[in-house]
Structure 1
Amino acid sequence: MNPLDQSLTLPCGAVIKNRIFKSAMSEGLGEKGGSPKPALSKLYRIWAEGGIGLCVTGNVMIDSRALGEPGNVVVEDQRHLEALQTWAAAAKVNGTHCWVQLNHPGKQAPKGLNKENVSPSAIPFRKDMQAFFDTPRELKEDEIWDIVKRFGKASEVVKKAGFSGVQIHGAHGYLVSQFLSPKHNQRTDDWGGSPEKRRKFVREVYKAIREAVGKDFPVGIKLNSADFQRGGFTEEESLETIQLLTDLGIDLIEVSGGTYEAPAMVGSKASQSTLEREAYFMDFAVKVRKAVDVPLVLTGGFKSYQGMKAAIASGDVDMVGLARLLAIEPDAAHQLLVGKDPLHKIEKVKTGFGPIDRMSVMETVWYREQLERIGECKGPKPNLSAFWVFLKYVFRFVFKRKGVLRERAT
């Protein structure tokens, strides 16, 4: 039997029809006010019809003052409920689960996008990235509690809209990840100073969400195995965080790793032996499986049917996470579910401009362009020029930034 074509029952009782998990990718298909564009419904219907078991949205922001990229969808209240309902209905055809990934970028937002960026501590990015990212302001305690409440409120709204679950974005250097990291969280109050205190934020976020949606609604998290930065979040701390969340009742944990400063999630830190085995974070997943009995998703590096089959058959993970592949081959699940390799291979996106290529931003921007094409019914274009996409992104961002500054001036 094909292990990818087996159902999975989560602790809350929800059943996923197969083991193929579409991991979150930033789509940039939100309207100016944060409402989802119609293209999102078209895109997610195509993925659902493509055979995926569980599809996670690109990061949806919980605060319109704190965007991660231009074009983010924002859920603060019910003002966009009708558009969210249309999106959810399209994304759940064919028996597909669709979960909304909820996020706050913290300091990891481009210069000029927000009025200011905030973080647990006012720690700047490394020097070669300071031209792209401002040094954040340290959050006050009342602001932290406000963010916690926003996670709960957003969860309540997306459940009402008809989505089948939520995922906390606790990886890749965004705010939850920043609170967990001793490199980015150097507070000395109840929110930092020790691993236990650094875990307080994610604990309170989970509790706020669970209180808002109830015990039968799936709640998951995307969590770094490590930050891959000196002085950052370690595997030991990640295991302790997973144990905490398992005890609290989390339904599904997606294992990833890295940040914009150390983009391990796109293979930048992978050894040759890891690349050959495909899964970037399998060693860590094995450690997690030995420590806790919670459903696990492993995302990063999978290329072939045999690699995915081996991961599930080993019993060390329960679902395989795919992202970039599904941006150029949206129906790849059809191939995998009959035991065949995908039709396309993932290649490193390069513009030829070193400072840009050393960051993970082009991996986001180039694949986001593919998602926009699918949502506009043009279909993906695997040979699309990365340099052309970068120029388009810069033009769009500069234009949007001028508009934001003009609005602030008036």
Structure 2
Amino acid sequence: MKQTTTKINPTNLAEILGKPLELPCGVVLKNRMAKAAMSDSLGDGCGNATDAQSRLYERWAQGGVALSLIGEVQGTPHYPEKPGNLVLNPNSDIEALQDLARRGSIDGAHLWPQLGHAGALSYLPVSKPKGPSALDLAELQCEGMSIEDIEALPTMYANAALIAKEAGFGGVQIHAGHGFLLSQFLSPLFNRRTDEYGSSVEGRFRVVHEVIEAVRDAVGDTFPIGIKINSTDQLKGGLTEADAMKMIGILDQTSIDLIDISGGTYFPGAPASSDSSSGSGPYFVSFAQRAKQITTIPIMATGGFKTRQQAVDAIASGAVDMVSIGRGMALNPNLANDWLSMEGGDSKFPRFDTNPSGGVTAWYSMRLTALAENNEDAFDLDLESAMSIYDERDEDCCSDWRQAFGRIVKEL
């Protein structure tokens, strides 16, 4: 997409970045900037929120965002992405969740948990992965889900959404991107089913549609429901932009309030958009602009926004209604306020001398921990050190996870 640069002045900042956005359900987000979902791994290892996690989202709320998304929140302990994930189920520590919801919602911000299920990407030390179809690849194996497994999903998501609402969160996002379970259903590379949950675009989308309907029935008409969906898997044989666009058309007929466009997967060996050094701008704005021609639901794009000018241009052009920033806000939790001031100021992204697989992700995860501990000024890790600390923390959490959920995990 060729994008015209919009000159920044006080009027533009107020009318573009600072303009409130009314969602279809009637809820109003105070501006056009969101903190993207990131897996913070700050849960207590038993699926519960922690004071550090509450402080992290409090900082983004104080920093001026309209919306923060908590990445990888599970509705069951069976299939986590990491053992530091939150779990929303009847055994959740409601008081801890209420503290997280309250502190992450100050100054008019919204805080939504991103409801997910890792499927084939479930964390092996504490899970036995299942996906739409059985896989036996060199670096990835999982069992296929039965019809009964699939039919249980809408209720699981709905129950988690209801807990989120009762705890005081402002909305929820359904995670159907980045190669996790619902994204796996959408991709012909990983969904090889020939029944009603596979084959055609409509069949692959069916379970997502059922999840949306169940969540809406649970939370009511005035509670925001967003969805994150891939524009492409960026894998040969995976979800194509053409099929993804058809799915946007299906979404337009649902009660979704905000569509978050992203792309890529975390499958072993897959290219990571966020780790790309070749991209000079936002990754999915062109797809988002085309999607806006076939839906009236507000659209947000996640990935590659590094400067205020990019955000202003994307919104001013009509390509998106909101921009979602992850790593930029990990580097500067006050970024939204900075972008709304005339002085501005973009995040300074680090350059690394090495590039071990998973190193950049681990570095940013540990950066989130530093923010949560109000210790970012002393944060000075190289990628290898970040990976070592990150992996050690996961191992510690696994012990707690097994103690809390061991009986459940063994029954899989």
Fold shared by both chains (TM-score > 0.5): yes
SS for the counterpart of 2:376 is coil
Moved more, 312-321 or 236-245: 236-245
TM-score normalised by structure 2 residue count: 0.90
The match for 1:384 among 378, 381, 392 is 381
Q: How does 1:91-110 map to 2 (within 5 A)?
A: 91-110=104-123
* 2:5 corresponding residue in structure 1: none
The match for 1:239 among 238, 245, 266 is 245
> How many Å separate the matches in 2 of 1:62 and 1:350?
39
* 1:314 corresponding residue in structure 2: 317
The match for 2:65 among 52, 56, 59 is 52
Q: Cα distance, 1:113 vs. partner?
A: 2.9
Query: What is the letter of the counterpart of residue 392 of structure 1?
Result: I
Q: Cα distance, 1:242 vs. partner?
A: 1.4
Moved more, 105-114 or 232-241: 105-114
User: Sequence identity of aligned pairs in percent?
Assistant: 37
* 1:12 corresponding residue in structure 2: 25
* 2:130 corresponding residue in structure 1: 118
CA RMSD of aligned residues (A): 2.1
* 2:148 corresponding residue in structure 1: 142
Q: Cα distance, 1:111 vs. partner?
A: 2.9
* 1:266 corresponding residue in structure 2: 274
TM-score normalised by structure 1 residue count: 0.90
Structure 1, unaligned runs of 5 or more: none
* 2:55 corresponding residue in structure 1: 42
The superposition leaves residues 171-195 of structure 1 with CA deviations (integer Å, 9 ceiling, x where unpaired) of 1000000000000000111111221
Say if 1:68 and 1:105, in contact at 8 Å, map to a contact too.
yes
Q: Cα distance, 1:379 vs. partner?
A: 2.5
SS for the counterpart of 2:68 is strand
* 2:4 corresponding residue in structure 1: none
* 2:192 corresponding residue in structure 1: 186
Change (3 A) 1:161 1:399: closer
Moved more, 379-388 or 216-225: 379-388
> How many Å separate the matches in 2 of 1:89 and 1:398?
30
> How many Å separate the matches in 1 of 2:64 and 2:284?
25
> How many Å separate the matches in 2 of 1:299 and 1:165?
18
Say if 2:116 and 2:174, in contact at 8 Å, map to a contact too.
yes
The match for 1:289 among 292, 297, 313 is 292
Q: Cα distance, 1:383 vs. partner?
A: 4.3
> How many Å separate the matches in 2 of 1:176 and 1:348?
34
Q: Cα distance, 1:160 vs. partner?
A: 0.5
Q: Cα distance, 1:341 vs. partner?
A: 4.2
Moved more, 11-20 or 144-153: 144-153
The match for 2:327 among 324, 327, 334 is 324
Say if 1:370 and 1:381, in contact at 8 Å, map to a contact too.
no
Change (3 A) 1:43 1:231: same
* 1:25 corresponding residue in structure 2: 38
Say if 1:351 and 1:390, in contact at 8 Å, map to a contact too.
no
Structure 2, unaligned runs of 5 or more: 1-10
Q: Cα distance, 1:264 vs. partner?
A: 4.1
Q: How does 1:295-306 map to 2 (within 5 A)?
A: 295-306=298-309
SS for the counterpart of 1:55 is strand
